[in-house]
Structure 1
Amino acid sequence: MSVDASGPAAALARIDAIQSRFAVLPGAPTSVAGTTSTPDAVASGSAAPLAAGSTPVTGSFDSVLGDALTRAGAAGGLATDPGAAGDDVGAGAVAAGSRYLGVPYVWGGSDPATGLDCSGLVQRAYADVGVTLPRVAADQARMGSAVPDLAHARPGDLLAFGSPVDHIGIYVGAGRMLVAPRTGEAVMVQDVYRIPTAIRRITGPAATATPAYAVGMPSWVPERWRPLFAIAAARHGVPAALLASVARTESGFNAGAVSPAGAVGLMQLMPSTARGLGVDPRDPAQAIDGAARLLAGHLRRFGSAPLALAAYNAGPGAVERYDGVPPYRETQQYVSRVLGYAGMAA
């Protein structure tokens, strides 16, 4: 779904979408003062009841997440435009993480397309707002700055559990957290069912972590697209600069572009190619991810950036037929232009 990520009105639209998805998710456990009904806590026998008075469980999830989305929107972006969350990194991470409600839990999972585990969700939500966190929960629980207790926690703070840490989630407010709980369940919002062993606040890339797009990302890439290029490039193992250079050459970063030949969107994917990749070419996040996957396949197949770009432009069959960059003027200019933008030798 695409929304106008420009302010509170967009936030309300996003809340409506989240509510419709949240309604069909497995029910979040209900905490009663001094007790817990969380399945993992019962199974492990390790849960401690939330300390009385540590934080009141007030307000609905909708209102809490709505506040985070509204603050993210007021700062310049929502989950649909995750790179523009402004200085409110925590609210941006909550908004970004809400996109993954309903994604199944998979141990070791870090790709929403196949499943997420607890630390995979945390890493992905923060990557979506331009912050790189370590992969595992124990390392994530050492990032940022310490928050003394749950009463002082803000939306976006990391809640770590266990000693050593073996579980982590993202606080959304009102005594609740966004988590990937365990096998057989999906990303959901739960009550904070036991006292965290660590609460960490990620205040921004400059303070505690490196922006995902800071390394190897050309300065001319529009800010709003940088996290999407960084995420797709890292996921599929292609240079972020090369991927962004394809977008610059193909559409000039115009997500609404349609070529005379029928190529669509930011990455100018033909409809048949987009269908084969399983993406909507008009959705920038999907188009960038699909193009990265396509380019990665060409790089593996042909072994060089010029040939991979030629295959992206003219098709892999043409590259094989000519055993190199095809002698098409358009393709040769295309390869030269993309490599020039990326600062790569032909």
Structure 2
Amino acid sequence: MMGIDGIMARISELQNQLGIVPAATATATSATGKTGGTAFAAALADATGTDTGTTRTGATGDDVVAAAKKYLGTKYVFGSTDPANGLDCSALVQRAYGDLGVDLPRNSWQQAKVGTPVDGLANAKAGDILAFGSPVHHVAIYLGDNKMIAAPKPGDHVKIESVYEKPTHIRRVLGTEAAAGTFGTAAVARPAALQQSGDLAGVPYANLFMQAGAKYGVSPKLLAAVAKVESGYNPKAVSPVGAQGLMQLMPSTARGLGVQNAFDPAQAIDGGAKLLAHNLKEFKSLPLAIAAYNAGGGAVHKYGGIPPYAETQAYVPKVQKALAALGG
């Protein structure tokens, strides 16, 4: 008989399969709050494509452990992938690997199939994924010395604990052939231009930048550069004028882009990529697209170039410098 954890895991699978993202209904403004005079909702709908491929990474198992430890104390919330609200067990694993540029599937039973199998806990290494149950209903990240880090159950929080029972699966992701390939069942090849952009090794949220870049046809390095200048890669950042999250989206901008939670890095990066894709298409100029991200497209049209705002005049070269530092 399937226990409660198994039932909850199955519910999560069904929720993921049936989830609906509300369509954007509001007119967006610029990321930093100045109104852009161009209505671009229809143009944004032209951006299509997905990418579930895993990026190459030079990360190690110890890096996975370090990434997971950043979430110690985060409360357990079933079905949540946003650390600001809470995480469940598979979201913790997905998030820790994702912060290093490795894209894992969402559910615990899927994570129990990635990478290569490890024969027994005695051969496990730091960073390996431990899966429990048949069917799998729980996952954790191995630390070594019979310890693991996990989001255990409702009412609890992300913590380090002993490996309390024999794992049914142990999977090694980093340093394997699969780590450089694709997880999941519906991989989409990256456009050649994005293949040339590099992997952003060591950049926080690298996999999210790669995915959003492939989805909207924007350089992942440009997205990372904008995030660096906007928030210093801080997903909880709030500006004096109310811009929020990693990509510093104003609430009205976020709504127009279909972003429900600007503090969720995945949603924020997706929204920022959507906005930059529109700006690049409209202005056909990288500096002007960057300026429009800061001041709004209406201001760029009004002045026929980078607006004479001190903030925007300084912002454009800052992003270009950050982009150059990433090799863009």
- Partner of residue 208, structure 2: 231
Instruction: Indicate which of 287, 294, 304 corresponds to 1:313.
Output: 294
Q: 5+ residue gaps in structure 1?
A: 1-41, 45-82, 258-262, 342-346
Instruction: Indicate which of 328, 337, 346 corresponds to 2:304.
Output: 328
Read off the aligned partner of 2:243 and give its amino acid letter: G
Cα displacement (A) at 1:97: 0.8
- Partner of residue 86, structure 1: 58
Contact 1:238 1:292 in 2 (8 A): no
C-alpha change, 1:153 and 1:232, in structure 2 (3 Å) is same
Give a deviation string over 1:12-32, Cα, whole Å, max 9, x none.
xxxxxxxxxxxxxxxxxxxxx
Cα displacement (A) at 1:244: 2.7
Hey, what's the Cα distance between the residues in 2 that align with 1:229 and 1:130? 5
Cα displacement (A) at 1:230: 2.9
Give a deviation string over 1:74-124, Cα, whole Å, max 9, x none.
xxxxxxxxx998352x22111111111111111122222222111111111
C-alpha change, 1:279 and 1:330, in structure 2 (3 Å) is same
Matched, 1:272 2:227: no
C-alpha change, 1:165 and 1:222, in structure 2 (3 Å) is closer
Instruction: Indicate which of 114, 135, 141 corresponds to 1:143.
Output: 114
Hey, what's the Cα distance between the residues in 1 that align with 2:179 and 2:57? 17
* Range with greater deviation from structure 2 (199-208 or 173-182): 199-208
Contact 2:132 2:168 in 1 (8 A): yes
Which secondary structure state, in structure 1, belongs to the residue aligned with residue 166 of structure 2? coil
C-alpha change, 1:218 and 1:135, in structure 2 (3 Å) is same
Contact 1:159 1:168 in 2 (8 A): yes
Contact 2:190 2:214 in 1 (8 A): no
C-alpha change, 1:205 and 1:235, in structure 2 (3 Å) is farther
C-alpha change, 1:236 and 1:270, in structure 2 (3 Å) is farther
C-alpha change, 1:277 and 1:270, in structure 2 (3 Å) is closer
- 1:279-318 alignment runs, 5 A limit: 292=269, 295=272, 298=275, 306=282, 311-315=292-296, 318=298
Read off the aligned partner of 2:205 and give its amino acid letter: L
Which secondary structure state, in structure 2, belongs to the residue aligned with residue 111 of structure 1? coil
Matched, 1:122 2:93: yes
Hey, what's the Cα distance between the residues in 2 that align with 1:234 and 1:207? 18
Contact 2:64 2:97 in 1 (8 A): yes
Contact 2:118 2:124 in 1 (8 A): yes
- Partner of residue 162, structure 1: 133
Contact 1:94 1:170 in 2 (8 A): yes
Contact 2:117 2:171 in 1 (8 A): yes
- Partner of residue 21, structure 1: none
Which secondary structure state, in structure 1, belongs to the residue aligned with residue 125 of structure 2? coil
Hey, what's the Cα distance between the residues in 2 that align with 1:195 and 1:265? 41
Cα displacement (A) at 1:130: 2.2
Instruction: Indicate which of 95, 101, 104 corresponds to 2:75.
Output: 104
- Partner of residue 34, structure 1: none
Q: 5+ residue gaps in structure 2?
A: 6-54, 184-188, 249-262, 284-288, 308-312, 324-328
C-alpha change, 1:227 and 1:270, in structure 2 (3 Å) is closer
Q: Which has the higher contact order (CA 8 A, sep 6+)?
A: 2
Contact 1:233 1:240 in 2 (8 A): no
Read off the aligned partner of 2:118 and give its amino acid letter: V
Contact 2:100 2:205 in 1 (8 A): no
Contact 2:151 2:158 in 1 (8 A): yes
Which secondary structure state, in structure 2, belongs to the residue aligned with residue 172 of structure 1? strand
- Partner of residue 197, structure 1: 168
Read off the aligned partner of 1:190 and give its amino acid letter: E
Hey, what's the Cα distance between the residues in 2 that align with 1:329 and 1:270? 28
Identity among equivalent positions (%) equals 35
C-alpha change, 1:43 and 1:290, in structure 2 (3 Å) is closer
C-alpha change, 1:235 and 1:330, in structure 2 (3 Å) is closer
Read off the aligned partner of 2:240 and give its amino acid letter: S
Cα displacement (A) at 1:203: 3.1
